[in-house]
């Protein structure tokens, strides 16, 4: 008798490199909805699967896990951020949860820099201006922006991506200050020329503030009206982490009323929705969550997800296990 292959539900098509690895060993059902995978379909289709391969927009909570059944071994997130998954609920049920750290660090740091430069030097406004036929010739006061070089960069969340953003800032001779859950080792501070600051001090001092903390209970609305008002009037806010870390309504008000000069956003509070007021503002550059969106990185994330799922299905420890409590005492 042929051995039954484990069942995998993929809530979206992922790059071939990973999909092929999964299909070699598993019975994979791939969905391909244009937007977010509908919750009712998820609750129905998850029944009986051994692994879920999901995206950051898929809310995987206890209800989904129970709808899957006790044979569910692993939830493999196609993202480094895993705020979409109720990890405690998974641990209680003995389900492994994995993510894709590291491979997307530099790609996401590059995008944070793209937003920083685009907002400071009004790249998107300039492009629009030219295409609208408004460029009549070089002018001393045309579309003036803010210098990036020698400015002070404040990094909130000094993990993989935050540090990669700091490394890039060295080429612009910036002063680098950071706030994070823990102070970095002195050696690293020295190497990156970075100094720790309490959050309020960082907000008051930085010309550019870039957010790189995960979304947790503690970081939800970490940046609200109070914090935006602490920032310099000439400062910019860059968010490539998660939308709900910033109070989007307060940010729209800040940009409109000139509490700060501009913002570059890759993430939003209620994705894919965007606060309508932001859409009207020229001093905001808005991207559709493109942080890790390079061909090479998305392919690496796909093989990482496949490796995590396959290892767990074989009863081995997946390389990017978030909840090792599940395998303790095995
Ligand atoms: P990481 O290496 O885990 O870094 C996160 C950092 O945030 C850590 O240094 C951590 O400090 C710090 N932190 C955690 N909770 C904090 C708190 N309450 N207050 C202050 N600092 C806190 O993660 P990463 O790979 O850099 O990714 C960061 C986030 O970026 C992800 O969680 C994800 O949401 C987002 N992301 C977005 C995109 C995109 O497409 N736009 C792409 C990739 C990642 P400790 O280490 O001291 O705990
Ligand atoms: C993207 O946002 C990620 O967390 O990987
Ligand atoms: C600008 O193009 C300059 O030459 O200064």
**Which among 250, 258, 247, 266 is positioned nearest to 283, based on CA atoms?**
258
Look at residue 111 and tell me whether its pLDDT is greater than 70: yes
Q: How confident is the model at residue 250 (pLDDT cuts 50, 70, 90)?
A: very high
Ligand 1 pocket, CB under 6 A: 80-81, 101, 104-105, 108, 157-162, 180-182, 212-216, 218-219, 240-242, 266-267, 289, 291-292
Dihedral Cα 189, 194, 196, 200, nearest 10 deg = -160
Q: Domains in the chain and their CATH numbers?
A: 7-103+295-328 (3.40.50.720), 105-286 (3.40.50.720)
Q: Which ligand is nearest to the CA of 140?
A: 3
Which of 201, 160, 159, 161 has its CA nearest to residue 177? 201
CB 37 within 8 A of CB 44: no
Supply φ then ψ for residue 273, to 5 degrees. -75, 150
Looking at residue 2, its pLDDT comes to 60
- Interval 277-302: pLDDT, tens: 999 999 999 999 999 999 999 999 99
Minimum CA distance residue for ligand 1 atom 1? 159
Q: Is residue 312 helix, strand or coil?
A: helix
Once rounded to an integer, what is the mean pLDDT over residues 11-25? Answer: 98
Answer whether residue 106 shows pLDDT above 90. yes
Phi/psi of residue 314, nearest 5 degrees: -85, -5
182 CB-contact burial (10 Å; exposed 0-12 / middle 13-18 / buried 19+): exposed
Distance CA 22, CA 30 (A): 11
**Which pLDDT score is estimated for 119?**
98
CB count, 10 Å around CB of 98?
26
Task: Give per-residue pLDDT as tens, 156-212.
Answer: 999 999 999 999 999 999 999 999 999 999 999 999 999 999 999 999 999 999 999
- pLDDT category, 329, cuts 50, 70, 90? low
18 alpha carbon, distance to own chain's centre: 20
Distance CA 232, CA 183 (A): 24
Give the pLDDT score at 209.
99
Active site residue ranges: 242, 271, 289
Q: What was the pLDDT predicted at 3?
A: 72
pLDDT the model gives residue 328: 85
Instruction: Please determine, for residue 19, whether its predicted confidence score (pLDDT) is greater than 60.
Output: yes
Decide the pairing of beta strands 7-10 and 51-54: parallel
Q: What is the pLDDT of residues 81-90, one digit of tens each?
A: 999 999 999 9
Q: What is the pLDDT of residue 204?
A: 99
What is the reported pLDDT for 26? 98
């Amino acid at each position: 008798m042929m051995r039954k292959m484990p069942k995998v539900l993929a809530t979206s098509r992922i790059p071939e490199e990973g999909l092929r690895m999964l299909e070699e060993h598993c019975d994979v059902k791939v969905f391909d909805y244009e937007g977010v995978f509908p919750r009712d379909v998820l609750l129905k289709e998850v029944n009986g699967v051994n692994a879920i391969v999901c995206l950051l927009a898929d809310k995987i909570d206890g209800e989904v896990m129970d709808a899957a059944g006790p044979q569910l071994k692993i939830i493999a997130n196609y993202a480094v951020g895993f705020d979409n998954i109720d990890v405690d609920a998974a641990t209680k049920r003995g389900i492994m949860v994995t993510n894709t750290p590291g491979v997307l660090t530099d790609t996401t740091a590059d995008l944070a820099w793209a937003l920083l430069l685009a907002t400071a030097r009004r790249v998107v406004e300039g492009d629009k201006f030219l295409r609208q036929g408004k460029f009549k010739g070089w002018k001393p006061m045309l579309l003036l922006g803010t210098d990036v070089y020698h400015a002070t960069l404040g990094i909130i969340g000094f993990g993989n991506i935050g540090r990669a953003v700091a490394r890039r800032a060295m080429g612009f001779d910036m002063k680098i200050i950071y706030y994070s859950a823990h102070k970095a080792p002195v050696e690293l501070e020295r190497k990156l020329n970075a100094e720790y600051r309490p959050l309020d001090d960082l907000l008051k001092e930085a010309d550019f503030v870039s957010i790189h903390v995960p979304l947790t209970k503690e970081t939800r609305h970490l940046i609200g009206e109070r914090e935006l008002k602490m920032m310099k009037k000439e400062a910019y806010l860059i968010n490539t982490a998660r939308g709900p870390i910033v109070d989007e309504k307060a940010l729209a008000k800040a940009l409109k009323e000139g509490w700060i000069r501009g913002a570059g956003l890759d993430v939003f509070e209620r994705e894919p929705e965007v606060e309508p007021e932001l859409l009207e503002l020229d001093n905001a550059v808005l991207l559709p969550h493109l942080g890790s969106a390079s061909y090479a990185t998305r392919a690496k994330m796909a093989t990482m997800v496949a490796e995590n799922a396959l290892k767990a299905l074989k009863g081995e420890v997946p390389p990017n296990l978030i909840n090792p409590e599940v395998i303790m005492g095995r």
